[in-house]
Structure 1
């Protein structure tokens, strides 16, 4: 093990959203494949204490950690790529740093001194980074050897100046052989000339160097592959060797990024620059075999599954990053590429038929033509009726359905209205003084404050003894208890649970006290499942989330054979889905296995379901 902690600082230039999160994750992935323990820190220069109160249109999705931290979506990239568990302190914001310094000042830690950005704020930043970098990795219990730090925003932003100054000092504090800077910059190619322009990168690097940080690695992002002459020009004008310029064009899959970076010789460079002590050096990509295999599999998928996401924030796809990644993980594992159709929930509502018929009919066309439907979480009244309409259509027409958080709640409301005939059933989030408040707020989480007051983080869900035959419990390998992450303030009203259960909406999973409903499943349906928790947060490229896997397989009428095999695929399954064995299994099922006790068919035929 290395004696000193190593740090890789990743900065960005020219524009935000250039891909620093994926680049940072790829650095970690490559080093982890070399047997090095890695952790990550994301720095967001905004003054908010956390991302919890952001609009999804403002900043994309809010990612939730095991400890309930509401953080930037880039921490989701880190967890998915590195397969590690991060904590709220792995996300630093200006608000957190200033609050810590002000609390110290009020406590009297700086008595007699004027509290200033330098040295008090910059020292606090450095202390925070050093402390968090040494927190043992949850999965192994070992202390990390390398900490990758992503500085949000772009170099030159006034908001990030204190952090840049902190790291200018930090590089001398930890010594040069323990600190490395990677600068991610855009190389645009204007259509008018067709020429790749290096001036923006040159200016960005010049500004970074003027602030006291010299990049050791320059990662050039571009739409198309960068010519060697352009690479040499960047090397010449930015004072780095050609091998220190890494070119990452737009790729068909983000999982190709670490493979491409490794092909540039990044392991050899980092091993020498940071004295990592990797010996012997990894041989020709064998150490990254699982990523190469995953990338090749995705590249060769020929069969497609179409999934609709009925959401409230569909104008910005980053609002549902974890959901789309979870869908892709499950589809790829099952042998399918995935086509995601985003449907604005409010466009499904009857009022839209008069206000904007084109949007209304387009939304319903996409919903009907999809092979599976996901209704994810959200807040507020807008679009709720559209989500209820989507749940109703899926229930009545045997369309595979997965509801998450608000999607769980709207499906319960739909069932109460149309099966139990409780007229006016709704959620207290939308209306007050309801005759049938099917969804109510949780008293202990209704504090009047908006930030960090929800039911957050990893919590246990217990499967009821009666759930042993349920699809969702079998997808979780018949475990009695599972742990998933939550983010909500409302729950199913306990007053209506018995009636809902008796009507056929079976709550198969509850919290440890048995009072809060966590999972329901509609038995007489190919796949109608909803969860109060957010299963997308724990989905990984190599280990997809079970509820998402169930949806993908049900969408392709493959769920039953998969469950019969004990949640395993056919040994012959490769890039083309070989369904001959599945069909044989289905034919061998006796009528008692596919019929309910009343003699009616439990599953619709493929033609009626899809």
Structure 2
């Protein structure tokens, strides 16, 4: 097993996740089996209880793990499925060690950071690095480990010490440390300043780790360009020599596909605008996977994505009196958008604004996709305005509503916040063949997507909706949980209880998101008539024939 540790200096959020993902992509393109581990030094057990503004979105894995959003980068770049134990936190490590102490595993010894915490970190990494992530179920050959935070942070010290020891245990030919740093360029001089990086490397060496490689990547038009830049700088040859890897110096067809995809991304001319109506719009990382899923779909049909973030509270009628400028600006964005997306979320704030956006999409026949809470609110909006149940609501927002069209799950345990939701990959069975989403999924009988929710549509009331044209076309395997809604006589009005954005990949766009982009560009009907094949005319004449979307995206059967 070969280990590549990625550390960061000067500032947090420098892009270690993208660098780690890109390195993994390059090595996978060389024919190696690659896995990834993210270490977060915070004391939380996992990311499940974070506010999105605190740490960005919570990424959900197949096994139900609520993890750091960087694992989403790993999965998208490497096209693999990771596990909750691929995300290590201080809380997990200390909980593991304390449980062993309570069981008497340390035989009465004093439990300390060194050696017990540091040993636990090394043991966890070695065990998890061996877990297969590909369909062939073979053990990975390379493990890329990202150490979150910044070198010098006090909470990261036990992990740095663990890897100081681990480099000798693994031996030099099996362990490599890459340091990612910021090189500022003041406008006054226009000169790049390396002193912060020098200080960061000195701090890292003082802690016992000497970086083999210091990475600097200039700002790029898209993250798809990063693996290409690293490859052009000779990183394949470097890893081949440094880690004695059985690979060729030249990249495979996979990396060439990445290059063609990056080239096409930079040459896009046509634009598709999508209004994302949410409550965490001040930080784009709050909807990182949603943005990527939209971008993957836009790229598949050769359109540049214009994603307009709209704070749902600014669409509410009360805002008109408080701040008419923001109110009218928000509605102007919504009205000019080609499609509307209402993503997941929690809490009552901003829900009335989301309902207004959904009503606009339904009545004006604007392409619409509702995800998780977005689907639930679409049901609430339909109940109020089409069934005339004026007090219809979710019990999350009004526990005493007379028309609880959305209710909490029977197994929901409100006494504990962590890991109590319906989480991870679950099967959704299509109820009918006459479903737009079923066709987008390649006419499959069922799909498996990831969930993260505590509330769901009340199954006892669904017949009332279906009589008026809102169809529940997808259920769980027992037929009791409503998973997919579609509205009749509408260009594209779809809601899903699951989160399809988590399984979207750059070369395999998520079908619900692809459907939204196709409908927003007026090409959905033609796409369905072609049997869910992208038209060759979508490709640009200045690109080679083998880079056309139809060849790189032969269909949209994903997940």
Same fold (TM over 0.5): yes
User: CA-to-partner distance for each residue in 1:295-354, whole Å, 9 max, x for gaps?
Assistant: 111111110000110011001110000000000000000110111000001111111011
Q: Distance in 1 between matches of 2:365 and 2:322?
A: 29
The residue number in structure 1 matching 2:221 is 252
Specify the alignment match of 2:551 in structure 1: none
Matched, 1:158 2:149: no
Q: SS at the partner of 1:11?
A: strand
| Match 2:235 to one of 252, 263, 266 | 266
5 Å-filtered alignment, 1:477-492, equals 477-492=442-457
Alignment of 1:151-550 (within 5 A): 151-220=147-216, 248-278=217-247, 280-282=248-250, 288-464=255-431, 467-550=432-515
SS at match of 1:40: strand
CA distance in 2: counterparts of 1:145 and 1:104, whole angstroms: 30
Task: Choose the corresponding residue for 2:536, options 561, 571, 593.
Answer: 571
In the TM superposition, structure 1's runs of 4+ consecutive aligned residues that sit over 3 Å from their partners are none
Give unmatched runs, 5+ long, in structure 1.
221-247, 578-610
Equivalent residue, structure 2, for 1:97: 93
Determine the structure 2 residue equivalent to 1:33. Answer: 29
Structure 1 residue corresponding to 2:521, chosen from 536, 556, 565: 556
Measure how far apart 1:547 and its partner are.
0.5
Mark the structure with the bigger radius of gyration.
1
Provide the rounded CA distance (Å) in 1 between the counterparts of 2:115 and 2:400: 55
Q: Distance in 2 between matches of 1:209 and 1:82?
A: 31
What is the Cα deviation at residue 448 of structure 1? 1.3
Distance 2:68 2:40 in 1: 8
The alpha carbon displacement at 1:203 in A equals 0.2
Contact 1:345 1:386 in 2 (8 A): yes
Matched positions, count: 542
TM-score (norm: length of structure 2): 0.96
Where does structure 2 lack aligned partners over 5 or more consecutive residues?
543-559
Cα contact 1:60–1:318 (8 A) shared by 2: yes
For residue 286 of structure 1, report the CA deviation from its aligned partner: 5.2
Aligned with residue 121 of structure 1, among 117, 122, 143? 117
Q: Is the 8 A contact 2:29 2:253 kept in 1?
A: no
TM-score by length of 1: 0.88
CA contact (8 A) 1:302 1:576 kept: no
Secondary structure of 1:137's counterpart equals: coil
Q: Is the 8 A contact 2:293 2:501 kept in 1?
A: yes
Q: Tell me how far apart the structure 2 counterparts of residues 360 and 573 of structure 1 sit (CA, whole Å).
A: 37
Cα-to-partner distance string for 1:54-107 (whole Å, 9 max, x where unaligned)? 000000000000000000000000000000000000000000000000000000
Preserved contact between residue 61 and residue 424 of structure 2 (Cα < 8 Å): yes
Cα RMSD (Å): 1.1
Contact (CA 8 Å) 1:335, 1:576: kept in 2 or not?
Answer: no
